[in-house]
Amino acid sequence: MPEARTPAQIEAEITRRRQELAATLDEIAVRVHPKTIVGDAKARAAAAVDRTAGRTYVAVNRAVTDVRAQFVSADGSPRLERIVPVALVTIAVVGLLATSARRRRS
């Protein structure tokens, strides 16, 4: 059987519970305040952008490294057997585009 509490113990318990409730209500008020909600949304958006930018950087860096490896040997010298054909194709495509643009203007 539980011990009987004194009025002072009951009053102390009520005071403690009121303080806990007040702290909880203060925390809820802060969480639902518009500035807090906007700040949280901004922080989440910034984190998402940072993650996306980081992933993009890694992907681009990997792609650049892979392409560079195709045109530069391990010792850093250019691989002319690969650069020359790509340069010729690029010049041909640019020439075709320029010719096509001139024909459209005429």
pLDDT at 2 over 80: no
Query: For the chain, which residues make up each domain, given as ranges?
Result: 76-106
- What are the tokens at 62? 């990997």
The pTM of the whole model exceeds 0.85 = no
Tokens of 72: 């530069």
25-46 pLDDT, tens digit per residue, is: 999 999 899 999 999 999 999 9
Helix/strand/coil for 5: coil
Residues with Cβ within 8 Å of 86's Cβ and at least 6 positions away in sequence, in order, are 71
53 vs 49: CA distance, rounded Å: 6
Query: Among the residues of the chain, which ranges form H helices?
Result: 7-32, 34-71, 80-105
